[in-house]
């Protein structure tokens, strides 16, 4: 589906983090809808490097790009030589910046700020030099424990990841206010789920994790009171819609990308079992994070609707139903075979 009247054919499009979840979906969106577009993916592909919490430093995976016919560059945006290559070897029309240290449990504050904040400003300067519109991934983590509905301007980040994304937004506002000729749009993603997230491992959504538990014959394990633990879950197609509509040259600003509806973890488990034809019930375990756990998120998307013409189109029931074939495929190829 084409979400805009902009013709991306014959445009040079950079996608950072393009082997990750959202980046790879963007890459295929352009390939499928604008076959003459020139899509360049840069990603710090996964290696054995880990963070202090034991999680992988990069979730970029080549399997997310199987079938992609554009240009692929392996590189870390903290590396100045990669930045110089991007600046001097290409002339971008649009930059979609999805690359980040995205693990909310990471404690390496120095790496988080260097990667998410400093490298972003370096890339933003390239966008300005190329006269390329910048669309970048911010995050609902900027809100921390702020009350629902979460609204731009009412942030309270509870970890260094959320802080780093808020600093990105502050940098963007500074450049917007300076009167730069490009548009700069920050998109605060809420709980995104859908195809190509599997290689995020433990940080992938509960949708795919519960789906594989159920296919293994295991009863989904939820915290006690999960019917009252609500999140704004958004299917990947609506995230792509927001990114494409953010290319409007008049769209500069920071916007929430969610559905505007809060749904429960219990809903996810119940819908999955219905779609997979199982009746395993639910195991409830004590919630060890009471007092430091966010029990409700719901994006205020009024500005996103008004200024980006964004219309969330996929209800959770439809999103999970659409996702089921991919969950089953991954189960057969990546889970049951291990």
Q: Which residues pair with 254 in a beta bridge?
A: 186
How would DSSP label each residue in 268-305? HHHHHHHHHT-----EEE--TTTTSS--B--B--HHHH
Q: Is there a contact between 47 and 133 (Cβ–Cβ < 8 Å)?
A: no
> What SS3 class is residue 64?
helix
Residue written as token pair 């991919």: 326
Q: Which residues pair with 137 in a beta bridge?
A: 187
Task: Locate the domains of the chain by residue range.
Answer: 12-335
Question: 0.85 exceeded by the pTM?
Answer: yes
Q: Is there a contact between 275 and 324 (Cβ–Cβ < 8 Å)?
A: yes
Angle, CA 268 vertex, CA 264 and CA 270 arms, to 5° = 110
Catalytic annotation, pick one of 3, 136, 143, 161: 161
Asked if pLDDT for residue 81 goes beyond 80, the answer is: yes
Catalytic residue flag (residue 311):
no
Mean pLDDT throughout 127-147?
A: 97
Asked if pLDDT for residue 294 goes beyond 90, the answer is: no
Output the pLDDT for position 57.
Answer: 85
In 3-139, at which residue ranges do the beta strands (DSSP E only) sit?
A: 12-16, 38-43, 71-74, 94-97, 133-139
Burial label for 85, CB within 10 Å (0-12, 13-18, 19+), is: middle
- In whole angstroms, what is the distance from residue 243 CA to residue 137 CA? 9
Asked if pLDDT for residue 56 goes beyond 90, the answer is: no
- The end-to-end CA distance of the chain, in Å, is 36
Domain 12-335 listed as CATH 3.40.50.720: yes
- In whole angstroms, what is the distance from residue 19 CA to residue 42 CA? 8
Catalytic annotation, pick one of 3, 34, 189, 200: 200
Asked if pLDDT for residue 338 goes beyond 70, the answer is: no
Q: How confident is the model at residue 50 (pLDDT cuts 50, 70, 90)?
A: confident
How is residue 48 written in tokens? 């054995």
Catalytic residue flag (residue 199):
no
Q: Which residues pair with 257 in a beta bridge?
A: 189
């Amino acid at each position: 589906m084409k979400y805009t009247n902009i013709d991306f054919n014959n445009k040079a499009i950079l996608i950072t983090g393009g082997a990750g979840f959202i980046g790879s979906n963007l890459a295929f969106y352009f390939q499928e809808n604008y076959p003459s577009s020139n899509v360049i993916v840069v990603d710090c592909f996964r290696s054995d490097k880990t963070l202090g919490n034991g999680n992988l430093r990069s979730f970029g995976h080549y399997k997310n790009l199987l079938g992609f016919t554009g240009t692929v560059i392996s590189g870390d945006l903290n590396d100045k030589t990669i930045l110089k290559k991007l600046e001097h070897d290409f002339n971008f029309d649009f930059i979609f910046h999805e690359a980040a240290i995205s693990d909310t449990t990471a404690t390496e504050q120095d790496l988080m700020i260097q990667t998410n904040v400093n490298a972003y400003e370096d890339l933003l300067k390239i966008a300005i030099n190329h006269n390329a519109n910048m669309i970048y991934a911010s995050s609902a983590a900027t809100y921390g424990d702020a009350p629902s509905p979460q609204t731009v301007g009412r942030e309270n980040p509870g970890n260094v990841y959320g802080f780093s994304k808020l600093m990105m937004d502050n940098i963007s506002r500074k450049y917007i206010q300076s009167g730069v000729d490009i548009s700069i749009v920050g998109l605060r993603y809420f709980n995104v789920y859908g195809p190509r997230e599997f290689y995020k491992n433990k940080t992938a959504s509960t949708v795919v994790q519960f789906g594989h538990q159920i296919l293994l014959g295991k009863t989904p394990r939820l915290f006690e009171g999960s019917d009252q633990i609500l999140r704004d879950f958004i299917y990947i197609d609506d995230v792509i819609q927001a990114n494409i509509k953010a290319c409007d040259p008049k769209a500069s600003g920071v916007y929430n990308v969610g559905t505007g509806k809060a749904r429960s973890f219990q809903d996810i488990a119940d819908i999955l079992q219905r779609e997979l034809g199982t009746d395993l019930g639910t195991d409830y375990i004590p919630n060890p994070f009471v007092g430091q756990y966010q029990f409700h998120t719901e994006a205020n998307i009024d500005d996103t609707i008004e200024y980006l013409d964004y219309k969330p189109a996929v209800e959770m029931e439809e999103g999970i139903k659409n996702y089921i074939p991919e969950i089953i495929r991954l189960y057969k190829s990546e889970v049951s075979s291990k």
